[in-house]
Amino acid sequence: MSTPGDRQRDADRTRAEILDVAMAEFARSGYAGARVDEIADLTRTTKRMIYYYFGGKEQLYIAVLEKAYSEVRAVEKTVDVDHLDPVEAIRTLAQLTFDHHDAHRDFIALVAIENVHRAEHIRKSEVLANLGAPVLDLISRILDAGHESGDFTTEADAIDVHMMISSFCFFRVANQHTFGALFGRDMTAPEHRERLRTMVGEMVVAYLKGAGR
Amino acid sequence: MSTPGDRQRDADRTRAEILDVAMAEFARSGYAGARVDEIADLTRTTKRMIYYYFGGKEQLYIAVLEKAYSEVRAVEKTVDVDHLDPVEAIRTLAQLTFDHHDAHRDFIALVAIENVHRAEHIRKSEVLANLGAPVLDLISRILDAGHESGDFTTEADAIDVHMMISSFCFFRVANQHTFGALFGRDMTAPEHRERLRTMVGEMVVAYLKGAGR
DNA sequence: ATAAGTTAACTCACTAGTTCGTACATAGGA
DNA sequence: TCCTATGTACGAACTAGTGAGTTAACTTAT
């Protein structure tokens, strides 16, 4: 039997199912390479319904991006900057970023794809503007504390530090295939995980302590 | 009038022109997004000739990859490791890598695209195997010298160090668009160039000196 | 309570346009 | 005459998107 509201819930579930499948498909094949028919075939619904719910391929793709980014924000909220000394705080943030990239491969692929398209779709979404602000604020506070305590001697910009951490974590996942082909090592294999995780932490700390000059 | 050999030279020039245009087109639109007709229209030749010379879209794409990678190898040969102390040698290598990525945007885009396709095309080309060996050898020698001189205290693996440098340089170019959209800063803009170039050098040096622990 | 009306969710079949690739004819040099 | 190089036209398969009508839940008037 069915109760009132079942239809709405079913529709929401269908929407969510489409989004999940579409995310995997776009991440696997890119925007142009992904097929709407393929996405439809992998769901319990039809292509017509994808158009009914999302309007078109591009809007579906944007919806996927929004979902992926929203799942991801507020990772940095886990860093308890006030109860950690600056060195441990920045190391923790770096390793959290590492873990996060490690756990969200599809998201990484989508970001890489979106860069191929010069971020044209992200720019069409208001939901995704200024999503970076929280991390920058966190890093700024850590940097200030580190300079005050004397732990950090390098004058660094929060955006630059974020870029340094992100680049390491992102590259390891995003470029695993060509890197593996060229150097014969899968950076994402379990046996390299802990070493690289430690490395990203030591890298930022060493840089901020200022031993590079 | 025509001399013997003209035909061959013309054919080579046509091949080269197709490759140039195709490289730009694939870099701009990705593999699936690139259009053979579009590439043909941008050359003085026809689509028929692309198929005549290269056989198909995929073979053309692989030829583009081979050309791009071959243009790129032997950057590291410029680092005169024997006449530089280890600290300056690794810093120089890092900044040379930075310059290189800065100057070859299309190549970066192709690598990113190839990773979306899980390096399936690179693996089909024998030309591109073990292309990474020279840099690793160079880094190994720098690391050995640095440990001997006492400048480096961190025990580091050559591949890891290469990854650290590459990730920074690659990310700055490859992710400029989404990063710009999220943080409101174009990492590739002239006003950030020198600072980031210095940064990558200080980053490796600081890490290898071992201040991170 | 129930008939009539309304709307969201859904199906099926179809189309207009694209895109890779090729068949065929031809030109000109060796 | 034979071979390489090339232009023209075309086709087969694919692909995003739609037109039109159906079903079933919900609402409102009586």
Domains and CATH numbers, chain B: 6-68 (1.10.10.60), 73-209 (1.10.357.10)
For the beta carbon of residue A103, count every other beta carbon within 10 angstroms: 12
Nucleotides in chain D with any atom closer than 7 Å to protein CB: 4-9, 15-20, 25-27
Query: Measured between CB atoms, does B183 come within 8 Å of chain A?
Result: yes
pLDDT tens readout for residues B143-161:
999 999 999 999 999 999 9
Instruction: Identify which of B211, B82, B210 has the alpha carbon closest to the alpha carbon of residue B155.
Output: B210
Query: Measured between CB atoms, does A113 come within 8 Å of chain B?
Result: yes
Å from the B50 CA to the C24 C1': 18
- Return the residue of B nearest to A129 by Cα: B182
Mean pLDDT of A181-198: 97
Q: Is the CB of A37 under 7 A from strand D?
A: yes
Query: Measured between CB atoms, does A1 come within 8 Å of chain B?
Result: no
Å from the A40 CA to the D24 C1': 23
Determine contact, residues B25/B42, Cβ cutoff 8 Å. yes
Q: What proportions of chain B, in percent to the nearest 5, are helix, strand and coil?
A: 75, 0, 25
Instruction: Identify which of A200, A138, A210 has the alpha carbon closest to the alpha carbon of residue A164.
Output: A200
Angle B177-A182-B113 from CA coordinates, rounded to 5°: 30
Q: How many CB pairs under 8 A join A and B?
A: 194
Please determine, for residue A2, whether its predicted confidence score (pLDDT) is greater than 70. no
pLDDT at B82: 73
Reported as a pLDDT band with limits 50, 70 and 90, residue A141 is: very high
Test B132 with A201 for CB contact under 8 angstroms: no
Test A177 with B119 for CB contact under 8 angstroms: yes
Mean pLDDT of A181-189: 95
Mean pLDDT, chain B, rounded, equals 90
Please determine, for residue B83, whether its predicted confidence score (pLDDT) is greater than 90. no
Test A33 with B32 for CB contact under 8 angstroms: yes
Please determine, for residue A80, whether its predicted confidence score (pLDDT) is greater than 50. yes
Those residues with Cβ within 8 angstroms of residue A192's Cβ, 6 or more apart along the chain or in another chain: A185, A186
Mean pLDDT of A35-54: 94
Query: What CA–CA distance (Å, rounded) separates B203 from A61?
Result: 37
Query: What CA–CA distance (Å, rounded) separates A99 from A93?
Result: 10
- Return the residue of A nearest to B206 by Cα: A212
Test A183 with B136 for CB contact under 8 angstroms: yes
Reported as a pLDDT band with limits 50, 70 and 90, residue A7 is: low
- Percentage of chain B beyond pLDDT 90 is 75
This complex has an ipTM of 0.91
- Return the residue of A nearest to B28 by Cα: A116
Please determine, for residue B7, whether its predicted confidence score (pLDDT) is greater than 60. no
